[in-house]
């Protein structure tokens, strides 16, 4: 479909009229829409899996594990908690507000929302965010990625079948269409993608003072730190699993591993074994191994590997026809090398040795760079790990584990600085797509003249004395 600024403006206008009708405010109605969304995901399961296979080379297991199951889980958590989350809060107003003693905080929807989703998890990062928007009582315009064309096509049919366009509409197309969307006045924007585009979204939103949530990858990537006391075999197994997942095209994936030089050689060998055990000796030829989203993404990955050809200790080969590039270990890499100062978003894994006694210097260097979306630590020194996790700035992470913090119910997924702003999942998503409105319940009886003029003379002195008493 060909879009224009006027056509998209008309879509937004119809959604605003629908929102202003008040239909989306009813909690029972919202719950019914979420149940409809869940049943739709289950009904479209095979179509989603086929589209993920076409766009990203995902196996049926990986498609279900990484996109479909988390989407259903997200909807289930929202269905279970929405009544409680949406209930107005009741607060005591305090003596300063006497005789009005009750204040309520209502959780109000923003209105018409724009969701811009990425290619790497096109089902989860579209429908997971949509779940939060609908739970909040909003309408939604969705702009999906043109790179994951098969998933976009299925999602477009899916949305059209489930919801009327004045409630939820999916728009396809490239960057020009995204800019047409950003030219409109939305009430809330949620963008998932790169920091560079995130800046563009934020600048466009500023023209209308539209609140924005950004989930970004971080410009200098997510670090995994392996200390000399770590269980190397366990760490290698988990790092290998995560780097294989979606061929490294994950915003919270490990961009580089810093490993204590005392155990670095041993860790590299364990990592080689772990990759081989999980995917074999020629992963670029394995049907179950995901592909890079486009041939240009494959070419960027291959070109970067060539720059470090003399430090490749595993991998370094690919199948350009099918856009698969083998997981590739680069070792040793310096902490100031260009490859560890950018988000890779591919199967390359630089390994940076450091002296274990100088681990705090390493963490200080990481802290000086742009804040990552994720941080992973492998060590038996839990005290040190807790100190690091409570003092560094990052989105989220794990100690002696990778990525599964994303699956915990009741906790936020978010970034900070160049890795994003805002948060969602469960109640945090509901909060992201609603704004709290404070309403004091006034009284028409027993109102005292304390706040009223005169402020001078005996009356003024008495009022000041009473006010100072109340402030103690």
Say if residue 186 is in the same domain as residue 142: yes
In a domain, 30, yes or no: yes
In a domain, 274, yes or no: yes
Per-residue pLDDT of the chain (472 residues), as tens digits, is: 789 999 999 999 999 999 999 999 999 999 999 999 999 999 999 999 999 999 999 999 999 999 999 999 999 999 999 999 999 999 999 988 889 999 999 999 999 999 999 999 999 999 999 999 999 999 999 999 999 999 999 999 999 999 999 999 999 999 999 999 999 999 999 999 999 999 999 999 999 999 999 999 888 889 999 999 999 999 999 999 999 999 999 999 999 999 999 999 999 999 999 999 999 999 999 999 999 999 999 999 999 999 999 999 999 999 999 999 999 999 999 999 999 999 999 999 999 999 999 999 999 999 999 999 999 999 999 999 999 999 999 999 999 999 999 999 999 999 999 999 999 999 999 999 999 999 999 999 999 898 899 999 999 999 999 889 888 7
- Concatenating the DSSP letter of every residue in 71-95 gives HHHHHHHHHHHHHHHHSPEEEE--G
SS3 content of the chain, % helix, strand, coil (to 5): 50, 20, 30
Say if residue 19 is in the same domain as residue 145: yes
DSSP 157: H
Contact yes or no for 241/349 (Cβ under 8 A): no
Token look-up 């589209």 returns 51
CATH of the domain at 158: 3.40.605.10
For every residue of 417-462, which 3-state class applies, written as one string?
HHHEECEECCHHHHHHCEEEEEEEECCCCCCCHHHCCCCCHHHHHH
Say if residue 195 is in the same domain as residue 276: no
- Pairing of β 212-216 and β 420-421: antiparallel
Query: Is residue 120 left, alpha or beta, with left meaning phi > 0 and alpha meaning psi from -120 to 50?
Result: alpha
The pLDDT, as a whole number, for residue 54 is 98
Say if residue 132 is in the same domain as residue 251: no
User: What tokens appear for 396 in the block?
Assistant: 């989220």
The pLDDT, as a whole number, for residue 78 is 98
Contact yes or no for 451/441 (Cβ under 8 A): no
Say if residue 321 is in the same domain as residue 359: yes
In a domain, 265, yes or no: yes
In a domain, 205, yes or no: yes
In a domain, 415, yes or no: no
Say if residue 25 is in the same domain as residue 124: yes
CATH of the domain at 289: 3.40.309.10
Say if residue 429 is in the same domain as residue 399: no
In a domain, 414, yes or no: no
In a domain, 417, yes or no: no
CA distance 45 to 118: 19
Domain of residue 317: give its range: 223-369+374-409
Say if residue 353 is in the same domain as residue 403: yes
Say if residue 191 is in the same domain as residue 295: no
Taking the CA atoms of 297, 300, 306 and 307 in sequence, report the sign of the dihedral they define: negative
Neighbours of 410 (CB within 10 A): 10
- Pairing of β 324-325 and β 112-116: unpaired
The pLDDT, as a whole number, for residue 1 is 72
Say if residue 23 is in the same domain as residue 109: yes
Give the number of residues written for the chain: 472
Contact yes or no for 141/115 (Cβ under 8 A): yes
Say if residue 185 is in the same domain as residue 330: no
- Concatenating the DSSP letter of every residue in 107-133 gives EEE-SEEEEE--SSSTTHHHHHHHHHH
Contact yes or no for 145/118 (Cβ under 8 A): yes
Contact yes or no for 319/361 (Cβ under 8 A): no
Q: Which residues are catalytic?
A: 215, 251
In a domain, 416, yes or no: no
Say if residue 29 is in the same domain as residue 132: yes
Report the domain count for the chain.
3
The pLDDT, as a whole number, for residue 448 is 86
Note if the bond before 376 is cis, omega within 30 degrees.
Answer: no
């Amino acid at each position: 479909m060909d879009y224009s600024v006027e056509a998209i403006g008309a879509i937004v206008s119809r959604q605003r009229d629908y929102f202003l009708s008040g239909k989306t405010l009813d909690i029972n109605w919202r719950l019914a829409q979420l149940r409809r969304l869940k049943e739709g995901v289950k009904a479209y399961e095979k179509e989603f899996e086929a589209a993920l296979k076409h766009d990203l080379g995902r196996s049926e297991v990986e498609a279900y594990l990484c996109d479909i199951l988390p989407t259903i889980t997200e909807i289930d958590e929202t269905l279970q908690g929405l009544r409680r989350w949406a209930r107005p809060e009741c607060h005591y107003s305090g003596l300063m507000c006497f005789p009005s003693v009750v204040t309520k905080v209502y959780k109000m929807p923003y209105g018409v929302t724009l969701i811009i989703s990425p290619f790497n998890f096109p089902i989860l990062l579209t429908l997971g965010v949509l779940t939060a928007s609908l739970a909040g009582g909003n309408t939604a315009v969705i702009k999906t990625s043109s790179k994951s064309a098969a998933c976009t096509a299925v999602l477009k049919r899916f949305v059209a079948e489930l919801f009327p366009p004045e409630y939820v509409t999916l728009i396809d197309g490239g960057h020009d269409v995204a800019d047409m969307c950003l030219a409109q006045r939305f009430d809330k924007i949620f963008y998932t993608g790169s920091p560079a585009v995130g800046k563009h979204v934020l600048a466009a939103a500023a023209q209308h003072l539209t609140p924005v949530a950004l989930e970004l990858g971080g410009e200098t990537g997510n670090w995994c730190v392996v200390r000399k006391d770590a269980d190397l075999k366990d760490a290698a197994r988990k790092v290998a699993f995560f780097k294989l997942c979606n061929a490294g095209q994950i915003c919270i994936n490990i961009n580089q591993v810093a490993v204590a030089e005392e155990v670095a050689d041993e860790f590299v060998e364990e990592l080689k074994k772990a990759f081989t055990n999980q995917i074999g000796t020629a992963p670029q030829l394995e049907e179950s191994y995901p592909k890079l989203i486009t041939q240009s993404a494959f070419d960027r990955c291959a070109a970067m590997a060539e720059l470090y050809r003399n430090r490749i200790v595993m991998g370094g080969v690919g199948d350009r026809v099918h856009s698969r590039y083998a997981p590739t270990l680069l070792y040793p890499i310096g902490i100031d090398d260009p490859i560890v100062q950018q988000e890779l978003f591919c199967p390359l894994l630089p390994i940076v040795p450091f002296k274990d006694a100088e681990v705090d210097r390493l963490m200080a260097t990481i802290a000086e760079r742009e804040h990552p979306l994720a941080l992973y630590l492998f060590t038996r020194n839990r005290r040190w790990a807790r100190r690091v996790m409570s003092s560094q700035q990052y989105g989220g992470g794990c100690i002696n584990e990778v990525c599964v913090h994303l699956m915990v119910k009741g906790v936020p997924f978010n970034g900070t600085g160049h890795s994003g702003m805002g948060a969602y999942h469960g109640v945090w998503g509901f909060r992201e797509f609603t704004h709290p409105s404070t309403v004091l319940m006034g009284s028409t009886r027993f109102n005292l003249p304390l706040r009223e003029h005169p402020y001078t003379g005996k009356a003024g002195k008495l009022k000041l004395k009473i006010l100072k008493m109340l402030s103690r």
